[in-house]
C-alpha cells in the first residue's frame, strides 16, 4: 500500500503560519496596551504631585503668574490623560479584534489538523484491513496446498 500523504499539507502549513502571525500581532497589541496603561499611571502620578505642590505653595503664598503656570500645566496633563484614555480604549478594542482573528485562524488550522488525523486514521484502518486480507489469503492458500 502507498505511504500516507495528505494533499492539503501545504495549506495546513500556511494556516499554521497565519496562526503564528496572528499570535504575534495579538502579543504586540497587548504590549502596546500595557505601555499605554503605564503611561496613564505615570501621568496621573505626575498630576497628583503637581497638584500637591501647587496646594503646598498656595498655603505658603503664591504669586498669580506662578499659579497660572501651575494651572496651565495641570490642564495640559489633564488633556494628555484624556487622550491617553481614548487611545487605551482603542488599543483594548484592537486587542479584542486581534484575539478574535487569532481564534478564527486557530479554528481553521485545527479543522485541517482534524481532517488530517481522520484521513490518517482511515488510512491506517484500510492498511490493517489489507494486511489482514493478505494474511487470510496466505492462510487459505496454505491450507489448499496441504489438502
- pLDDT of amino acid 144: 61
pTM: 0.76
pLDDT exceeds 60 at position 147? no
Residue 143 to residue 135: CA distance in whole angstroms? 12
Question: Which residue has cell 496651565?
Answer: 72
In tens, the pLDDT along 39-71 reads 999 999 999 999 898 888 888 888 888 889 989
CA distance 29 to 24: 9
Report the Cα 2 to chain-centroid distance in Å. Answer: 39
Judge whether residue 80 has pLDDT over 70.
yes
Does residue 75 register a pLDDT over 60? yes
Query: Span 101-107, mean pLDDT?
Result: 97
The full 3-state SS of the chain, as one line of letters, equals: CCCCCCCCHHHHHHHHHHHHHHHHHHHHHHHHHHHHHHHHHHHHHHHHHHHHHHHHHHHHCCCHHHHHHHHHHHHHHHHHHHHHHHHHHHHHHHHHHHHHHHHHHHHHHHHHHHHHHHHHHHHHHHHHHHHHHHHHHHHHHHHHHHC
Residue 4 pLDDT class (50, 70, 90 cuts):
confident
Amino acid at each position: 500500500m502507498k505511504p500516507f500523504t495528505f494533499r492539503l499539507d501545504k495549506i495546513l502549513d500556511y494556516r499554521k503560519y497565519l496562526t503564528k502571525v496572528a499570535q504575534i500581532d495579538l502579543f504586540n497589541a497587548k504590549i502596546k496596551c500595557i505601555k499605554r496603561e503605564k503611561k496613564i499611571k505615570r501621568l496621573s502620578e505626575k498630576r497628583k504631585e503637581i497638584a500637591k505642590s501647587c496646594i503646598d505653595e498656595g498655603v505658603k503664598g503664591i504669586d498669580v503668574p506662578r499659579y497660572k503656570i501651575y494651572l496651565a500645566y495641570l490642564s495640559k496633563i489633564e488633556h494628555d490623560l484624556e487622550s491617553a484614555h481614548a487611545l487605551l480604549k482603542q488599543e483594548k478594542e484592537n486587542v479584542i479584534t486581534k484575539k478574535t482573528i487569532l481564534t478564527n485562524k486557530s479554528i481553521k488550522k485545527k479543522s485541517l489538523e482534524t481532517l488530517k488525523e481522520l484521513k490518517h486514521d482511515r488510512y491506517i484502518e484500510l492498511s490493517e484491513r489489507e494486511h489482514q486480507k493478505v494474511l487470510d489469503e496466505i492462510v487459505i492458500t496454505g491450507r489448499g496446498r496441504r489438502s
